[in-house]
Structure 1
Amino acid sequence: MKLLNNKFPGIYYEKRKRMRLYTKNLTPGEKVYGERLKRKKDEEYREWDPRRSKLAAAILKRISQVGLNVNDSVLYLGASTGTTVSHISDIVGDKGFIFALDFAPRVMRDLVFLSEKRKNIAPVLADATQPRKFLHLVSEVDFLYQDVAQKNQAEIFIKNASTFLKPGGFAFLCVKSRSEDVTKSPKKVYSKVRDKLEKEMIVADFRILDPYEKDHCVFICKKK
């Protein structure tokens, strides 16, 4: 098992019939979503399922950079039950930190349980569309991740990047085209989102996630 490449610290791969991604388990012996655990010498790794994580899917789609580093502070918008959050927790390590935000009380319970085992995660019950309302709960961060399936995804992303992301920091946006506009083709939706992003940020890369996620794409951006 080797480091994928020096652009993606904390991410490992194993190549057999297909490439499998892993992160080093911050809490050895513990699974988060039923993933496979693999031991190598004295270390334990968790397999990262690209059909359950858009970040993993983007890496397998050969996105050129992610911008996430060991020890980073992260704001994750749309944390859900914590699948991708847990792998980011592995990557940033015990000196990094994640503000895992979601507006749904039903998933907050899972995030609270996850944070009890992973001390670098803080669950935040809040609405990503109103960042001013959780200013007192979230500090400035190195990396922003957004996976919020609703209208105005680019506007929400830009607003939070402006509020919380450090200058020069990277941000990762997942776009679900059907949530943005069901009447338009995914290609047109992605183009419109890109136009909005380029007015405010540097778009470093873009990937469509088929076949891992239908009608989804991701943008990796850098704050000016």
Structure 2
Amino acid sequence: MTLPAGVQRRDIGGQTVLATRGERVSEEATDGEWREWDPRRSKLGAMLEHGLDTGLDGDETVLYLGAAAGTTASHVADFAGPTYAVEFAPRPARDLLDVAAVRPNLFPLLKDARKPETYAHVVEPVDAIVQDVATRGQATVALANRQFLHDDGRLLLAVKARSEDVTADPVTVFDDVRDQLREGYEVLASTRLEPFHDDHLGVVARPR
């Protein structure tokens, strides 16, 4: 597995874990400046643990959709360049602001990822879109935000089956999402994110 520059496997607390170097966000284990990136709390971390080739090298410009309180966004900002973090819910957005206060390259946006026109005047073209939006129409969100992605960029999408249809077989949901994505993306790889996240699929795609 190739990790982005700025992400390492380190012995922290007697275990070999993914880690980035930056200010601590919550109660994650640390080793000096390095802090654990827990795949149980991060869909992107789980994708890296599963060995998906994300195409991330480090220093990319990133649009993060569904940043929530900023746990994963903070790790991304630790190794990436400018990171635009979109979150719609006011309560987690307040925590995201605290995370961004010590990361000058992390730009929190209290916006709805389903309405990219509301932040199009702020976000520059990006090398990667990281999407973790637990809503119906996750492929639609990815397609709507494709406009920001460079032609050789990557979409790193975490699909939550229960957000699409709580009654449907997750396999069917994942197939449907991949089919919808093909309207604007070429799917390069995908994998289930168990045991870290039940009924989730990690997808790597590029614009077409």
TM range (shorter): over 0.9
Residue 147 of structure 1 is matched in structure 2 by 132
| Equivalent of 1:8 in 4, 8, 11 | 4
Residue 82 of structure 1 is matched in structure 2 by 70
Residues 144 and 171 of structure 1 are in contact (CA less than 8 Å); yes or no, is this contact kept in structure 2? yes
1:167 equivalent in alignment to 2:162: no
Aligned pairs (5 A) from 1:26-37 = 30-37=23-30
TM-score, scaled relative to structure 1 = 0.87
1:219 equivalent in alignment to 2:203: yes
| Equivalent of 1:100 in 72, 80, 85 | 85
TM-score, scaled relative to structure 2 = 0.94
Measure how far apart 1:67 and its partner are.
1.9
Measure how far apart 1:36 and its partner are.
1.0
Residue 94 of structure 2 is matched in structure 1 by 109
Measure how far apart 1:133 and its partner are.
1.8
1:194 equivalent in alignment to 2:193: no
Instruction: Write the deviation string for residues 71-103 of structure 1: whole angstroms up to 9, x where unpaired.
Output: 2111101000000001101111xxx11111011
Distance 2:124 2:100 in 1: 18
Instruction: Write the deviation string for residues 153-193 of structure 1: whole angstroms up to 9, x where unpaired.
Output: 001111101x2111111111111000001121111100111
Residue 23 of structure 1 is matched in structure 2 by 20
Residues 206 and 219 of structure 1 are in contact (CA less than 8 Å); yes or no, is this contact kept in structure 2? yes
Residue 130 of structure 1 is matched in structure 2 by 115
- Unmatched segments (≥5 aa) in structure 2: none
Give the letter aligned to residue 156 of structure 1: V
Distance 2:79 2:88 in 1: 25
| Equivalent of 2:56 in 49, 63, 68 | 68
SS of the residue corresponding to residue 31 of structure 1 reads coil
SS of the residue corresponding to residue 32 of structure 1 reads coil
Change (3 A) 1:131 1:22: same
Change (3 A) 1:160 1:91: same
Residues 124 and 137 of structure 1 are in contact (CA less than 8 Å); yes or no, is this contact kept in structure 2? no
Give the letter aligned to residue 172 of structure 2: K
Residues 69 and 95 of structure 2 are in contact (CA less than 8 Å); yes or no, is this contact kept in structure 1? yes
1:56 equivalent in alignment to 2:45: yes
Superposed CA RMSD in Å reads: 1.7
